Chains A and B, each alone.
Chain A
Amino acid sequence: MAEIIELNQAGKNTSPCKLHPQSMCPAFGSLRILTRLEGSHPVMATDTGCLYGLTFVTHFYGASKSILAPQLGTAELMSGQVVEGTRAAIEVAGREPGVKLIPVVSLCVAETAGMPEELLPKKSGDADVVLVRVPAYAIHSHPEAKDIAVAALLNRLAEREGPVQEKSVVLLGEVFPADPLLIDGLLRRMGVTETIFLPGRSIEDFRRSGRMSAMAPLHPFYKESMNVARSIGMSIAGGAPVGISGTYAWIKSIGSILGLDEALVQQVADEERAKATAIVAARPLNGTVLVTGYEGTELAYARMLVEAGAHVPYVSTSIGQDPLVLPDELWLKSHGTKEVIYRKALEEDVAAIDRYSPDLVFGTTPLASVAKERGIPAMYFTNQLASRPFFLSSGMAATIEFVAEVLTKGDRYRFMQEFFAD
């Protein structure tokens, strides 16, 4: 029988046009990491509009750190003074007390005008000068710019000489401050000799990372950094200690990569699985949740919420599709998630609210406001989820307890919506 072709496509569920991309300015990801390092004094090469905005968000979300920049207006850009100005700013940065590192963050207009690395100094006094290229038109999302910054620092600073510390691991990803302590404690019980968490406050950690035996990226967008680690000869442990199955698999994978005592690893993995299972059993989530942030960690959060009992039909993120995210995507799709969207736009997220009538939305600020206008509980993913303990069974407990709480707040969101309805 011949297939009937619909002539009128109107009213059909076509995917909406991506008009409003959802990402911070990508460069912000690198600035956040670079300003938080003790002894790091960034120089930004860019126009004033960009500089104003990025300094603003960095001073809000990064660190209370003064930021230098060459004046790059029409005159400077057209007369090829980009490098000259940047060198002058590097010189000023080199006079800051305690300066050890001067990252040169090269942005859209400087990259377009040309910023030849060989014309920048390698050092200013004792401080290392490291070029970090993060034009927004080429990087697309701020999580990926974090990777560019970490890779640039590792590339330059990681020690490549000297004995490798046996059974040691670099854990990669910005995490809640309590998480490293717990992960370190667990790994040491399994026989790990040392852990380093990148990126943190210490430049020295980047140097010492080169002599560690393995790297475990906790977030799925550190591919450039992983390439640097591989080039140094480190092994890579995939996945992350998230949720019940994820944590179990990750512990086993770390154990096998580092050649740890199998029985001990199995014991720790079993214990963590038992704890996480008990946490979910004690207070399972119930409801439909959309996980639509722009931090690049959305799939992992969605996976945890699904394991905890929530229905998560739709997940979206700012990062691009990549083999590193694929395991989570496949897992989600085999557990009831209908759509996983990369490089998402506001239109797609709004359409998902229409389609799935969620009980709770974690999203960007524009999306959360759309959900609130409909009386649906909603929060800014970045401020509320990405800033809590997340890893291992204790992180799972903290995160799902929070989500369970918010799921009970529907009345308050409906009240506000009704109050402002007329």
Chain B
Amino acid sequence: MAPTVIRDLSDSSGYWAAIWTMCPMQDVHVICDAPVGCFNLVGTAVPDYTDAIPHIENLTPATMTEQEVGGKGTADKVKWTYDNLSLTGVLDNKHVIVVSTAESEMIGSDHSSLVKQLGVGTKFYYSNSLAEDEWAGRDRVLIWLWDEYGAQQRASVARNPLSVNIIGPTYGCFNAPSELEEMKRMIEGAGGTVNIIFPYATTLADMHQLAAADVTVVLYKEFGMGLAEQLGKPILTTPYGMKDSNAFVRALGALLGTSVQAEAFIAHEKKTTLQAVWDLWRGPQGDWFSTLDVGIVAGLGLAEGLERFLGEELGMKIVFSTARPRRPGDYDNEATRQHIHKKAPSFLFGSMNERIYLREAGSRFSNFIPASFPGPAVRRAVGTPYIGYRGCVILMQEIVNRLYDGLLNFLPVDSAYAAARSNAGAGGQPAAAPSGQAGNLRWSNEAREMLDTELQKLPYLPRISASRQLQMAIEEISRQRGATEVTAELVTAGLAANRG
């Protein structure tokens, strides 16, 4: 079979899934069987920028060096790490889990026996990092945690009436604090209460209480369904857009027997939260939506949600949408990159990778909106969900404000200011003043077509202003070169100068 080449990997591995799923619970301490890099990246360097935390404190490496890789194995190092951590007291009242990494799996380290010689209750989790991606990994580790720390106590758990579990998020889930906040609001709006938020806001000690709820909500469609099925409660997934949100609230109301509250909440949301959508739709802003083309790269739930809300409900043109994990037929990064290089959409929801492709394409007219990892993004303000009712408003507001920005950036400004700036910068040398010459130069057909083609690449809204600006830039260069007609060559030069 021909080898697969990855461009700008979007999905992390089973090891990352394990650390990011286990460590939000404060009564866990993880020892990772890892070289220094696997510890630093997952524990500090990346969560600094995905989760806006200084570092993950309940993670310690059994730092692997040449010796361990070269035949000694990692068991002694894991034991040494455990013993010395114990002496510091940080393992008191903690459940210790030893987690494998790609490199420890590579050298065949299996500590399922070793952990029995460590403190009581210490367990080994094989992260299967050479085979599993972060989505399959999170799904599996959630089930493993339930099996190891929750399921046995299931029978003794009393029902918590009208309560709802939320499964997901973990560290490294885009926009988690906001999505969670909106989900809580919707559950309560529909007449329920929140039971356990697993793993983000619970402890291993409390997780058996998952059995107490009436309903389970899977917050991210990408993972968590495995555990939700094991819990054996009715399952709902996160809604995006207006229709889905109504359907979600109705379904939850029906499951909990709180349909009256649910209907009242829907009616209230329409008059309050969603009023902004109705107002923007009726106002001049709404007219723009159908002129916009949108590219989407996001987690499965969000990708499908954006397709429905932006595409079906607001009427934007979805030019591509690729999910994480990818669905059959979704672009890989190579195809996404080529699409963006060829024609960047006016709005691009994505990760750092797509942002780089936009820069490579020199696309200054596209609006990038962060929607997935990898990439640095602070999403800790709980008021910016993409899910539910508030998500509709945030998305619409974000898009309209970007349109305003685009518009304002292309309204004409007197070019004398730029000349004055370069004047000052050049130590008082007089800069070439704009000719300000009246009248248009003659354009060859070829030149006119080239400009048209260039303009077709631009999003609709800034096109009018950009068109005038580009035309002036090209004519300016043509005049400087003493041309009486704008040729294809001069268009090329003008466009290049304008890209600057």
Which residues does A use to contact B, with CB under 8 Å?
Answer: 17, 19-21, 23-28, 47-57, 59-60, 64-74, 76-77, 81, 84-85, 87-89, 92, 108-109, 112-113, 135-138, 140, 347, 364-366, 368-369
Contacts and interface: CB of A to CB of B under 8 A. Distances in A.
Contacts of B13: 47-49, 52
Interface of B: 2-9, 11-16, 35-42, 44-46, 48-49, 54-55, 60-61, 63-66, 68-69, 81, 84-85, 87-88, 101-103, 106-107, 129-131, 133-134, 337, 352-353, 355-357, 359-360, 374-376
B375 A59 contact: yes
A216 to B, nearest CB: 30
B130 A365 contact: no
A49 B102 contact: yes
Given A25-B38, A366-B55, A137 B6 contact: no
A23 B36 contact: yes
B9 A52 contact: yes
B430 to A, nearest CB: 27
A49 B81 contact: no
Nearest to B67: A137
B356 A49 contact: no
B5 A59 contact: no
B356 A27 contact: no
A54 B42 CA distance: 10
Given A19-B81, A48-B129, A140-B36, 4 more contacts: A19-B85, A49-B38, A49-B101, A60-B376
A137 B64 contact: yes
A417 to B, nearest CB: 14
Contacts of A51: 6, 9
A48 B13 CA distance: 6
A25 B45 contact: yes
7 contacts: A47-B106, A53-B37, A54-B37, A57-B46, A64-B355, A137-B66, A365-B48
A23 B85 contact: no
A27 B41 CA distance: 11
Q: Interface centre among A20, A54, A57, A140, by most B CB within 10 Å? A: A20
B68 A137 contact: yes
A70 B3 contact: yes
Contacts of A136: 35-38
Nearest to B69: A137
B41 A54 contact: yes
Given A57-B41, A112-B107, A71 B12 contact: no
Residue of A26, A85, A109, A364 ringed by the most chain B CB atoms within 10 A: A109
**Residue of B11, B66, B84, B130 ringed by the most chain A CB atoms within 10 A:** B130
Contact of A24 (B45, B60, B84, B355): B45
Contacts of A112: 69, 103, 106-107
A88 B2 contact: yes
A91 to B, nearest CB: 8
A53 B15 CA distance: 11
A138 B376 CA distance: 29
A48 B65 contact: no
B41 A56 contact: yes
B102 A64 contact: no
Nearest to B102: A47
Contacts of B69: 108, 112, 135, 137-138
Contact of B3 (A28, A52, A85): A85
Contact of B7 (A24, A47, A68): A68
Nearest to A60: B376
B478 to A, nearest CB: 28
A55 to B, nearest CB: 6
Contacts of A27: 37
B5 A89 contact: yes
A49 to B, nearest CB: 3
B12 A49 contact: yes
Contacts of B376: 60
